[in-house]
Structure 1
Amino acid sequence: MKRLAPLLLCLPLAACGSFDGLFGGDDGPAIICPRILPVVEAEEMTRFVAAGRDLTEVDFRARLSDVRAECETDDEEIELTLQVILSASRGPANSEGAADFSYFVAVATRDEQILTRSEYAVSIPFEGNRTNVGLLNEVDVEIPLSEGQTGREYSVFLGLALRPEELEWNRQNR
């Protein structure tokens, strides 16, 4: 189940993160929840109109700003609730008044074999004269466990669902 709740974000807030908030240190509790990891090449997106690549042809920019997670586990499964915070900036070529894109959540084994991958479509409206807007999207992820397993055996990857040209743009402009 997912719930959408728009909220106004400033871009400097996007630099804050909590990807590492679920793990105990050497003296902390045992790791029962999976690691939550952003896919670095898919944390940001620049979408252009048509085949444009000029800055005046930017439709919008989007960013995976933050992820907060709550985890409950028993002997049979891990129930993970992710609060995914996305932000978008309106570009000069944006005539629709919204940023429409998707992000993904993938569950993988310790050796990075993808077990499940889900995409979530979002639409961030630029109401009035707002040019920077954020969205909180909550998703639930269930990971079945075999006997003796914990979250230590899994990772959860998040990123924006990029088109090939957007991925190439990210690689060239790092």
Structure 2
Amino acid sequence: MAACSGNGGKGPEAQAAADTTPALACPKVSIPDETREVTQFRGGGARDMTDVVSRAAVLQYDGGCEFDDAGVTVNLNLLLGAERGPAARDAQGAYQYFVAITDPAGRIIGKQQFDTTIAFSPNVGKGTSAEELVQKIPLAKGATAAGYGILVGFQLTPEQLAFNRDPRKSF
């Protein structure tokens, strides 16, 4: 019966102590709106719909974390999606995205860039890529990971970032 009691067979004193122990919280993962998407234009062209080579977006993410004496390991699964544009000549698109770790003050303390290629299906012109990443955050003894964060987004050129920030863009 004790194994089915929901407290692992521990007495009421042990359960009360466990209830006051702070839960280990994973770092918060977020995708800044301005880096959630990337639009690639053909070189030398204008910046309208007919000049789009491809567009890609971070569609979703999930994962979890594991704690040990050295800190926290975050397992992150990303789903990236892309579509061909009217100016595309290739059957795939190449993209660069980043994963950055922020400290409790919001400062970036580590950043990695990753390359991925997404093949466009022949009849639809869209494709996806599932990315599996592992990020390790060292923590001092007794520190919590709850104040840390993980930022995910596309690594953009200044022009791409300006395009994403432009409220007049129509697509």
Q: Same fold (TM over 0.5)?
A: yes
Task: Please state how far the C-alpha of 1:30 moved relative to its aligned partner.
Answer: 2.5
2:140 maps to 1:146: yes
Distance 1:69 1:121 in 2: 20
Partners of 1:32 and 1:73 within 8 A in 2: no
Task: Please state how far the C-alpha of 1:76 moved relative to its aligned partner.
Answer: 1.9
2:19 maps to 1:44: no
Distance 1:156 1:30 in 2: 19
- Offset from partner CA, 1:111-151 (integer Å, 9 cap, x none): 11111100110000114223121110101111111011121
Paired residue type of 1:143: I
Distance 2:119 2:129 in 1: 9
Partners of 1:68 and 1:84 within 8 A in 2: yes
Distance 1:60 1:45 in 2: 8
Name the TM-score, length of structure 1 as normaliser. 0.79
Q: 2:160 aligns with which of 146, 162, 166?
A: 166
**How many aligned positions are there?**
146
Distance 2:98 2:112 in 1: 6
Equivalent residue number for residue 20 of structure 1: none
| Structure 1, gaps ≥5 residues long | 1-28
Name the TM-score, length of structure 2 as normaliser. 0.81
Q: 1:108 aligns with which of 102, 105, 108?
A: 102
Task: Please state how far the C-alpha of 1:31 moved relative to its aligned partner.
Answer: 4.4
Distance 1:130 1:138 in 2: 25
Distance 1:123 1:42 in 2: 18
Equivalent residue number for residue 62 of structure 2: 68
Paired residue type of 2:34: E
Alignment of 1:80-91 (within 5 A): 80-91=74-85
- Offset from partner CA, 1:24-57 (integer Å, 9 cap, x none): xxxxx73421010111110011110003212111
Equivalent residue number for residue 8 of structure 1: none
Distance 1:32 1:127 in 2: 39
Q: Larger radius of gyration, structure 1 or 2?
A: 2
Secondary structure of the structure 1 residue equivalent to 2:34: helix
Q: 1:95 aligns with which of 89, 97, 103?
A: 89
Q: Which has the higher contact order (CA 8 A, sep 6+)?
A: 1
Distance 2:122 2:48 in 1: 25
Secondary structure of the structure 2 residue equivalent to 1:148: coil
Show structure 1 runs of 4+ deviating over 6 A. none
